[in-house]
Structure 1
Amino acid sequence: MCKVMKVHRSGYYQWLNQPISDREKENQKLLTHIKDAYKESNGVYGSRNIHKDLKELGIHVNKKRVARLMSEAKLYGVGTYKRKPYSRAGAVHKAHPNYVKRCFIVDKPNDTWVSDITYIRTKEGWIYLATVLDLYSRKIIGWATGHRQTTPLI
């Protein structure tokens, strides 16, 4: 094989038996920390979150290096699911009147309440969080969660 590659046998064996470099030793040590953080996240975290975890541990390393080491070790984070759930297709939604009319300055408590619905993705599916906020104090008056966007939730 050395003749085909036009390499001396002594050069091949010297290359084969060369000691591991300091950089490679450091990469191996760093990879153990990366694998621990990856395992701790149940295989969800990508290179950005792993980098944050390492930074919290006091290990300062470049994001690209973490990404390269993870790629070489075939450790991939779980991407987010972009599509938000919709209500029934073809359902007619009644538009409610806008009483606030974008005037968010309030003089007394419990004069104006506003609400919002937030979609939260979990492993089991979507959860809906409905909140009611007092504009004067900016405090949450009430909240509810549910698996469906139904009237009792809102």
Structure 2
Amino acid sequence: MSKRLQKNTVLKEKITALYFESKQRYGSPQITMELNILRYKISRITVAKYMRELVLKSKLSKKFKITTDSKHNYLLVENVLNRQFLVSQPSKAWVSDITYIHTKEGFLYLTTVMDLYDRKIIGWSLSDGMSTKDPSDCEPAKQTTLASWKMAIRNRTVRNGLIFHSDRGV
């Protein structure tokens, strides 16, 4: 292997390492700057060429989007959990939330229910809609909140005085 080929191989390995260290967010300008700091003499154009050869494209990060709407007209229940997240017994306090997952086909909604006693997910549901219909009454792709609740009560006994807490958004 010639010295030039060895040097190019080392540079490509370093570019790949920096790319993945940056969680695939760095493009050729940032990687060139990092390489220059590390005393590699290389131009941005050369880094861009190597990145094309290695099929490394930077991912654009999107701005954080607020998804909780606490200013709605639905019934609001008092916050009885009051940020007391340490629980001494199972089925004393369960917490739930919905996470929005962006995919090429659109959003997916992951609803989880966690028992604060052991921090285990005891119920979950993944759907492509936000329907709260009973899962037996609607198509399987439209199940969300009630499906995760039903899984939770299958996995844990509901005890008297159970607190079920959510962020009170949608």
Whichever residue aligns with residue 34 of structure 2, its letter is: K
Whichever residue aligns with residue 141 of structure 1, its letter is: I
Deviation per CA, 1:59-108, whole angstroms, max 9, x where unpaired?
A: xxx982399454244643231333648599x9745434322111112121
Aligned twin of 1:16: none
CA contact under 8 A between 1:47 and 1:63: conserved in structure 2? no
Tell me by how many angstroms 1:34 deviates.
8.1
Q: Which whole-Å CA distance do the structure 1 matches of 2:66 and 2:105 have between them?
A: 14
Bigger Cα displacement from structure 2, 129-138 vs 115-124: 115-124
1:71 aligns with 2:48: yes
1:49 is aligned, of 20, 35, 54, to: 20
Whichever residue aligns with residue 110 of structure 2, its letter is: L
**Taking CA–CA contacts closer than 8 Å with sequence separation of 6 or more, which of the two structures ends up with the larger relative contact order?**
2
2:9 is aligned, of 29, 46, 59, to: 29
1:108 aligns with 2:89: yes
Whichever residue aligns with residue 64 of structure 1, its letter is: E
TM-score (norm: length of structure 2): 0.49
* Identical columns (%): 32
Alpha-carbon RMSD:
4.2
Q: Secondary structure at the match of 2:131?
A: coil
Q: Which whole-Å CA distance do the structure 2 matches of 1:52 and 1:80 have between them?
A: 10
Aligned residue-pair number:
115
CA contact under 8 A between 1:121 and 1:127: conserved in structure 2? yes
TM-score (norm: length of structure 1): 0.53
Whichever residue aligns with residue 115 of structure 1, its letter is: S
Q: Secondary structure at the match of 1:25?
A: helix
Aligned twin of 2:117: 136
CA contact under 8 A between 2:90 and 2:115: conserved in structure 1? yes
Q: Which whole-Å CA distance do the structure 1 matches of 2:8 and 2:22 have between them?
A: 16
Tell me by how many angstroms 1:116 deviates.
1.4
For the pair shown, the structure with the greater C-alpha radius of gyration is 1
Aligned twin of 1:14: none
Q: Which whole-Å CA distance do the structure 2 matches of 1:99 and 1:73 have between them?
A: 57
Unaligned 5+ residue runs, structure 2?
25-31, 134-143, 146-170
CA contact under 8 A between 1:34 and 1:70: conserved in structure 2? no
Unaligned 5+ residue runs, structure 1?
1-20, 38-45, 54-61
Aligned twin of 1:59: none
Q: Secondary structure at the match of 1:110?
A: coil
Aligned twin of 2:101: 120
